[in-house]
Amino acid sequence: MNPYQSYSSLTLAYVGDAVYEVFIRTKLTENGDKKVNRLHKEAKNFVSAKAQCQIVEQLLDILTPDEIDIFKRGRNTKVNTKAKNADFKEYHNATGLEALIGYLYLSKNMERLTQILEKAYQIAADIQGESYEK
């Protein structure tokens, strides 16, 4: 058994949030130098709870049963806070996605982590109707 499966979902989400944020910031800067204000506005379209909820809804069909279990644990975790601009479902789905990302990162499953992050990025870009790809 992977030792990270027994970690708290919120611990996994804490790590996953940071990993996802760095990934998105890196992707947004691949096309060259931009003003920080613009980068921040673009990043919000990828990292908000609303965006993450939309992403995870499209990712579910490519997740393994173990990955779905980690996602569901994160999604179903009781949290004592609420996002400012998200409803209950969005916030909990985003927490589930972040828990999955944190789990894959801590498990050092970088190939699968990269696949999921790249797919998440493309989904978010498609949802926005624009592509930030090179």
Catalytic position from the list 17, 33, 69, 126: 17
Q: Between vectors from CA 50 to CA 59 and to CA 30, what angle results, nearest 5°? A: 70
Q: In sequence order, which residues have a C-beta less than 8 Å from that of residue 62 and are 6 or more positions away? A: 116, 119
Establish whether 66 is a catalytic residue: no
**In the chain, alpha helices (H):** 9-29, 36-47, 49-59, 65-76, 88-106, 110-128
Catalytic residues: 17
